[in-house]
Structure 1
């Protein structure tokens, strides 16, 4: 697992694109996607394991044939790595995450503050589980910190939902 000391100043993402076939989703999902991309580009720790060159990096995330595909390039366009992960380990977590998000968005319309906070805590817990799973699946391939894993997991949810 990555710790802060193994990242240099250029070990970061400066751009991210999602599979163009995703299309539009609900306003809530679109908002989460936009915030996750903005936050990810604003602050992240990202380094392909074994890369002897230097970042910063550009990432393309897509779903192809039921697999999650990470294509990493340098800012100038040179391809660094492609990693393909099975979506299997994410399916239940993503399903649970979407179910609890739906409950959360319904709750904010009419529930008490205490009920909303309880649902939000559960939502963050499921999101953290997904982030840890992503971090574990990328171990040995791409070094990322936990905050980067959280933002990437949000985007995996968007891709998985559409994929």
Structure 2
């Protein structure tokens, strides 16, 4: 019988650096800025990220919006070259309704945490998490066959995509 070890196996199927295209970032409020910082920190702390059919990790990822498309530009973290390994451009259309609803719920959530009863805050937060889960599922579907990510990585990437969309 094979025993499981508590030691973590080092893997190259991960992100070691993440940047957001500064031209794509809308200056948001302090809450959105904080969510973006936490998402990046959590992503770098633990993630699963692999290019389909390639083994050139660990990776550096740049996320931006180019010509109304979501751009995932992937670089090798081990090579000093500024030339990307691959760039994937995804239509934003599947995210538009989710983003619109997500921002409406976020606005309600941030207003509620100031004055609302805990039960109201919890109800709004459940709606926010549901939309967040839906957005992360759509992201995983859109990346299928291109980039393999786990659920936690997808959720955190969705937070960063939302931060790019935030108009304040």
Same fold (TM over 0.5): yes
Provide the C-alpha distance between the structure 2 equivalents of 1:77 and 1:95, rounded to a whole number of angstroms.
39
Q: Does 1:41 align with 2:21?
A: no
Separation in structure 2 between the aligned mates of residue 120 and residue 37 of structure 1, nearest angstrom: 21
How far off its partner does 1:87 sit? 0.4
SS of the residue corresponding to residue 20 of structure 1 reads coil
Change (3 A) 1:77 1:93: farther
Root mean square deviation, CA, Å: 1.5
Are positions 1:29 and 2:37 aligned together? no
Structure with the higher helix share, 1 or 2: 1
How much has 1:23 moved relative to structure 2? Answer: 5.1
1:4 corresponding residue in structure 2: none
Question: Equivalent residue for 1:82?
Answer: 87
Gaps spanning 5+ residues in structure 2: where? 1-8
1:137 match: 142
Name which of 111, 116, 126 aligns with 2:121.
116
Aligned to 2:66: 64
1:13 is aligned to 15
Task: Output one character per residue of 1:73-116: Cα deviation in whole Å (capped at 9) or x when no partner.
Answer: 11024522110000000011011111101100000001111111
Consecutive unaligned residues in structure 1, runs of 5 or more:
1-6
Q: Which whole-Å deviations, capped at 9, do the CAs of 1:103-144 have from their partners, x for residues lacking one? A: 000000011111111110110000000000000000000000
Q: How many pairs does the alignment contain?
A: 155
CA radius of gyration, larger in: 2
Residues 52-77 of structure 1: per-residue CA shift (max 9 Å, x gap): x3310000001011000000011024
Q: Quote the offset at 1:8 in angstroms.
A: 7.0
